[in-house]
């Protein structure tokens, strides 16, 4: 099983569990940045965001991730403000955030004497609650940077819980090598029942409200670190929740190959390849170099429509215009 196929099947399973009511309608997303001092230094494989009481207010604004600079700005819902004086960041960044916020329907604008004034269409709600990060490592015999990644998650404490998901048999030695706070799931893939999660160890809640330590570089004898303040973590958590809401996990393409037979897994349509016998990553695995490749039109299944139908994410809130894909600079 490739990590990619494992990840898609796990996301489909977690989404179905939430839809069936075993959990609480959480947002499932994949491949999101979860570091603060070193942006992009840590990418979480899967992120679960638990909705808070004001979730409905968030879904009614836009289907896209709202840029954090627009949320942080002094632009409110009352009197419109001249955009340039409403931001406390570089003007280029402020301009990009303003344009994006207008484009996705978070800001509305009016022109006065050739100047652009903006206001929020709705107050930004406190829409999310707990956030869970999942690190996928189907084969623990090939751990890669697993220990360092999980140590980063535990000491930074940006998410409320961290879980390691694997298909491997988990030994006491494996458990001893990872931080105690990290939960462990063993994932069983049994036909015809599909995927089942055996909880080997429950995760412990991390101290998300306080400052965190982010390891930056491990050198022999010493580790470079950054201290991340509680305030920076609040903003980073909001960015993470926003990106999860805007992006979700159906961020894959279907390969232009006759062997690709889109298949349902736990109610989600995955890019299953009959030649490989699993879901495949079109960009990195498919093409004329693959021995099973047979050119054919790629499937045109609308994955946004599927996400809209099967989750609490709303593709087209209150008839607002949906952004054309490919323009997302913040997601
Ligand atoms: S290119 Fe290869 S891996 Fe990709 S769908 Fe075709 S046969 Fe499968």
Check: CB of residue 164 under 8 Å from CB of residue 183. yes
Mutate to test the pocket of ligand 1, among 254, 262, 293, 299 (most ligand atoms within 8 A of CB): 293
- What pLDDT is recorded for position 211? 97
Residue-wise over 298-312: b if at least 16 C-beta within 10 A, else e?
eeeeebeebbeebbb
**Residue 51 confidence (pLDDT):** 95
For residue 258 and ligand 1, the question of a CB distance below 6 A is answered with: no
Rounded Cα–Cα distance for residues 298 and 204 (Å): 43
List the Cα angle 158/331/255 in 5-degree steps: 115
Identify the pLDDT of residue 194.
77
Integer Cα distance of 5 and 11 in angstroms = 10
Query: What is the DSSP secondary structure assignment for residue 78, as one 8-state letter?
Result: S
What pLDDT, on the 0 to 100 scale, is given for residue 192? 65
Digit-coded pLDDT (tens) for 173-230: 999 999 999 999 999 987 666 789 999 999 999 999 999 999 998 888 888 999 999 9
Q: Report yes or no: 126 and 6 within 8 Å, Cβ to Cβ.
A: no
* Predicted pLDDT at 319: 47
| Residue from 5, 255, 262 whose mutation best tests the ligand 1 pocket (most atoms within 8 A of CB) | 255
CA-nearest residue, atom 7 of ligand 1: 292
Q: Which secondary structure element, helix H or strand E, spans residue 282, and what is its range?
A: helix 282-285
Residue 15 sits at φ, ψ, to 5 deg, of -65, -40
Pick the closest to residue 304 from 330, 328, 279, 282 (CA basis): 328
Under DSSP, is residue 314 helix (H, G, I), strand (E, B) or coil? coil
How far apart CA 150 and CA 135 sit, in angstroms, is 8
Distance 260 CA to ligand 1 centre (A): 6
In the chain, which stretches have pLDDT less than 70? 21-24, 191-193, 319-331
Residue whose CA lies nearest to ligand 1 atom number 4: 286
- 286 in ligand 1 pocket by Cβ < 6 Å? yes
Q: Name, in order, each residue with C-beta under 8 angstroms of 284's C-beta and a sequence gap of 6 or more.
A: none
Probe ligand 1: pick from 262, 272, 276, 288, max atoms within 8 Å of CB?
A: 276
The per-residue pLDDT for 327 is: 42
Residues 268, 12 contacting (CB under 8 angstroms): yes
Which amino acid residue places its CA nearest to atom 1 of ligand 1? 286
257 CB within 6 A, ligand 1: yes
pLDDT of residue 328: 42
The predicted structure's pLDDT at residue 244: 98
Taking the centre of ligand 1 as the mean of its atom positions, its distance from the CA of residue 185, in whole angstroms, is 30
């Amino acid at each position: 099983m490739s990590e990619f196929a494992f990840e898609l099947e796990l996301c489909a399973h977690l989404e179905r569990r939430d839809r069936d009511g075993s959990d609480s309608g959480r947002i499932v997303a994949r491949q999101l940045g979860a570091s603060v001092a070193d942006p992009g230094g840590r990418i979480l494989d899967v992120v679960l965001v638990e909705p808070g009481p004001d979730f409905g207010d968030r879904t009614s604004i836009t289907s896209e991730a709202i840029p954090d600079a627009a949320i942080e700005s002094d632009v409110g819902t009352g009197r419109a403000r001249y955009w340039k004086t409403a931001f406390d960041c570089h003007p280029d960044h402020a301009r990009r955030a303003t344009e994006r916020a207008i484009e996705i329907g978070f800001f509305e604008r009016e022109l006065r004497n050739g100047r652009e004034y903006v206001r929020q269409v709705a107050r930004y709600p406190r829409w999310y609650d707990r956030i869970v990060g999942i690190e996928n490592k189907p084969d623990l015999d090939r751990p890669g940077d697993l220990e360092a990644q999980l140590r980063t998650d535990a000491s930074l404490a940006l998410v409320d819980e961290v879980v390691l998901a694997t298909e491997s048999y988990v030994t006491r030695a494996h458990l001893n090598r990872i931080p105690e706070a990290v939960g462990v799931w063993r994932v069983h893939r049994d036909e015809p029942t599909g995927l089942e999660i055996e909880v080997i160890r429950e995760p412990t809640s991390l101290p998300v409200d306080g400052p965190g330590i982010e390891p930056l570089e491990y050198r022999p004898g010493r580790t470079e670190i950054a201290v991340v303040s509680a305030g920076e973590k609040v903003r980073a958590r909001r960015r993470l929740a926003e990106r999860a809401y805007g992006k979700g996990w159906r961020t894959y393409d279907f390969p232009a190959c006759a062997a690709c037979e889109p298949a349902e897994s736990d109610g989600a349509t995955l890019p299953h390849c009959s030649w490989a016998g699993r879901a495949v990553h079109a960009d990195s695995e498919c093409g004329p170099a693959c021995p099973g490749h047979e050119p054919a039109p790629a499937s045109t299944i609308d994955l946004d429509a599927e996400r809209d139908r099967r989750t609490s994410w709303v593709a087209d809130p209150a008839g607002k215009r949906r952004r054309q894909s490919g323009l997302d600079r913040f997601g």
